[in-house]
Structure 1
Amino acid sequence: MIWNLGSINIDNFYEVPHLPAAGETLAATSYGFGLGGKGANMSVAAARAAARISHIGAVGADGRWTRDRLLEYGVDTPHIAQIEMPTGHANIVVERGGENSIVLFQGANVHLTEAIIGGALTEASPGDFLLMQNETNGQEYAAATAQSLGLCVAYAAAPFEASAVERLLGRIDLLVLNEVEASQLEAATGKTVGALGVADVIVTLGAQGCKWVSNIGEKHFDAYPADAVDTTGAGDTFTGYLVAGLDRGMDMVTAIDLALKAGSLMVMRRGTADVIPDLKEIQDRFGI
Structure 2
Amino acid sequence: MTVFNLGSINADLVYQVPRLPGPGETLASTGASRGLGGKGANMSVALARAGCHVVHIGAVGVDGAWAVERLLEYGVDTRFISTVDAPTGHAYIMVDDDGENAIVLFPGANLELSGDDINRALAGAISGDNFLMQNETNAQAESATRASALGMRIVYAAAPFDASAVMAVLPLLDILVLNAVEAAQLEEAIGHNIEALPVRDIVVTLGADGCRWINTDTGVMLDFPAIPVTPVDTTGAGDTFTGYLLAGLDRGMPMQQAIGLASRAAAIMVTRRGAADVIPDLKDIHNARL
TM-score bracket, normalised by the shorter chain, equals over 0.9
**Residues in 2 aligned to 1:246 and 1:278: alpha-carbon distance in whole angstroms:** 16
Name 1:180's counterpart in structure 2.
181
Name 2:288's counterpart in structure 1.
285
Alignment of 1:203-222 (within 5 A): 203-214=204-215, 215-216=217-218, 217-222=220-225
Matched, 1:256 2:269: no
Code of the residue aligned with 2:142 in structure 1: it is: Y
Alignment of 1:119-268 (within 5 A): 119-214=120-215, 215-216=217-218, 217-268=220-271
Deviations 1:116-165 (A, max 9, x none): 01110111011000000000000001100000000000000000011111
- Deviation for aligned residue 1:192: 1.4
Matched, 1:45 2:46: yes
- Deviation for aligned residue 1:7: 0.1
Identity %: 59
- Deviation for aligned residue 1:286: 4.9
Name 1:115's counterpart in structure 2.
116
**Residues in 2 aligned to 1:119 and 1:136: alpha-carbon distance in whole angstroms:** 17
**Residues in 1 aligned to 2:234 and 2:102: alpha-carbon distance in whole angstroms:** 11
Name 1:58's counterpart in structure 2.
59
Counterpart of 1:20 in 2: which secondary structure? coil
**Residues in 1 aligned to 2:213 and 2:289: alpha-carbon distance in whole angstroms:** 22
Deviations 1:204-223 (A, max 9, x none): 00011000001221011011
**Residues in 1 aligned to 2:151 and 2:92: alpha-carbon distance in whole angstroms:** 38
Q: How many residues align?
A: 287
**Residues in 2 aligned to 1:185 and 1:92: alpha-carbon distance in whole angstroms:** 25
Counterpart of 2:94 in 1: which secondary structure? strand
Matched, 1:21 2:37: no
Counterpart of 2:120 in 1: which secondary structure? helix
Deviations 1:215-247 (A, max 9, x none): 221011011111100000000000000011111
Counterpart of 2:5 in 1: which secondary structure? strand
- Deviation for aligned residue 1:193: 1.1
**Residues in 2 aligned to 1:236 and 1:257: alpha-carbon distance in whole angstroms:** 15
**Residues in 2 aligned to 1:79 and 1:118: alpha-carbon distance in whole angstroms:** 10
Counterpart of 1:33 in 2: which secondary structure? strand
Gaps of 5+ in 2: none
Counterpart of 1:246 in 2: which secondary structure? helix
Name 1:12's counterpart in structure 2.
13
- Deviation for aligned residue 1:167: 1.0
**Residues in 1 aligned to 2:289 and 2:147: alpha-carbon distance in whole angstroms:** 35
Code of the residue aligned with 1:237 in structure 2: it is: T
Gaps of 5+ in 1: none
Counterpart of 1:43 in 2: which secondary structure? helix
Deviations 1:169-211 (A, max 9, x none): 1100000000111111111101211111100000000011000
**Residues in 2 aligned to 1:169 and 1:27: alpha-carbon distance in whole angstroms:** 43
Deviations 1:240-265 (A, max 9, x none): 00011111111111101000000000
Counterpart of 1:250 in 2: which secondary structure? coil
- Deviation for aligned residue 1:20: 1.1
RMSD, matched Cα:
0.9
Name 2:82's counterpart in structure 1.
81
Code of the residue aligned with 2:242 in structure 1: it is: T
